[in-house]
Amino acid sequence: MNNLLFKKAKQVGGILVMISLGVMTGCNNEDPLKQDVPEFISSVKLIFTPVGGGTAVSATATDDGFGSGNITIDRPINLMKNASYTLTFEILNNLAAPTDPEYNIGNEIEEEGTEHQFFFAWTKSVFSNPTGNGNIDNRSDPLNYNVEDKDANGLPIGLITSWTTTDVASSGTFTVLLKHQPDLKSNTTSSTDGETDIDLTFDVNVE
């Protein structure tokens, strides 16, 4: 019986070697599927449109992909003094096709408004309204979220905001912070709650 078993063991062994060889030659790797990457934000454009008409002012931050390179910002935000503007965004993912729903991230932020809120900070001398230096350091500081710009719970999102520059020429910085606050967002959640989606600082000149 031992011999018989040994023969069987040999057969099993032989089959195994064959399986392995088969796998070795037949194992042709397929290319991984190319993935859409809806979470990627390739560019954020800030658009300051003068209230009552005129040429909009914009500045864009662009990312180079998922590598460790830094973003580039094309130009400072150059605003007129003593003027009122409405700030809106164009937030895109250029790794998606322009026809894809993933291309325009702004729409997604609006749809998931109950999880998102923009916070802002600026150098005090730049704007006269809202007063102060913004609501990143203190959530209850003044900020002019547009009345139309609300989530399903009636809380502000920040995709549309209103700004009035000071009447003296000055320059400083302007920070835009978008927080993702799933199951957290309330009328007291602040800029330190949740995860950061956008955190960009632009130079701003008031002339």
Partner 1 sequence: MKSSFTFILLISITLFDLKAQESCFFTLSGKISSTSGEPLPGATISLLDLNTGEIAGTDGLFKIKNLCKRKYRIEVKYLGYEDKIIVLKIENSIEIEVALTESDQMLEEVVIADQYQRVEQNQTASALSGTALEQTKGMSLGESLRELSGVSSIQTGPAIFKPVIHGVHSQRILILNNGIRQEGQQWGAEHAPEIDPFIASNIVVIKDAGAIKYGTDALGGVVIINPPELPTTNTLGGELNLIGQSNGRSGTVSGTLEGGAKRFKGFGWRVQGTGKKSGDFHAPDYILSNTGYNELNYSLTTGYHKEDIGIEIFYSHFKTEIGILRGSSVETVVDLNNALETEPPAYTKDFTYNLINPHQEVKHDLLKLNAHKRVGNNEYTIQYGLQINRRKEFDVRKGKLYNIPSIDLQLITHTLDLEWEKSKEKTVRCIGINGMLQDNNNIGNTYRIPFIPNFNSTTLGAYIIQKVSFKKWILDGGVRYDYRYSKVVGYDPLNMLYRSTLKFHNASLTIGANRKILKNGVYLTSLASAWRPPHVAELYSFGQHQSAGSIENGLLLGDSSEIIDFNKAEYKNEKALKWVNTYQHNADKFQMEATAYYNFIFNYIYLKPTGVSTKVGGPKPTFHYRQTDASFLGFDFSLSYQVIKKVKLSAKTSLLRAADEKNNSYLYFIPSNRFEMNVRFEQPELKKWKSFYVESKLKYTAKQNRAPVKKTIDEIIQAEEAGETLPPFDFASAPNGYFLWNINMGISCPIKKSKMDFKVSVTNLLNTSYREYTNRMRYYADDVGRNISLAVKYSF
Binding site for partner 1 (CB under 8 A): 2, 5-6, 8-9, 12-13, 16-17, 19-20, 23-24, 27-39, 41-44, 61, 63-71, 95, 108, 111-112, 115, 177, 180, 182, 184, 192-193, 195-200
Q: Least distance to partner 1 from the beta carbon of 159, Å? A: 16
CA contacts within 13 A on the Cβ side of 121 = 13
Q: Least distance to partner 1 from the beta carbon of 48, Å? A: 19
Nearer to partner 1, 1 or 147 (CB): 1
Say which amino acid occupies 1.
M
Q: Least distance to partner 1 from the beta carbon of 152, Å? A: 14
Nearer to partner 1, 50 or 76 (CB): 76
| Furthest CA-CA distance within the chain | 103
Tokens of 204: 């701003």
- With b for 16 or more beta-carbon neighbours within 10 A and e for fewer, the 80-108 pattern comes to ebebbbbbbbebbbebbeeeeebbbbeeb
- Is residue 130 reached through a cis peptide bond, with omega within 30 degrees of 0 on the bond before it? yes
Q: Are strands 195-206 and 77-79 parallel, antiparallel or unpaired?
A: parallel
Q: Least distance to partner 1 from the beta carbon of 127, Å? A: 22
- CA dist 202 and 179 (Å) reads 18
Nearer to partner 1, 21 or 56 (CB): 21
DSSP 37: -
Nearer to partner 1, 104 or 170 (CB): 104
- CA dist 100 and 94 (Å) reads 10
Q: Least distance to partner 1 from the beta carbon of 125, Å? A: 23
Nearer to partner 1, 82 or 196 (CB): 196
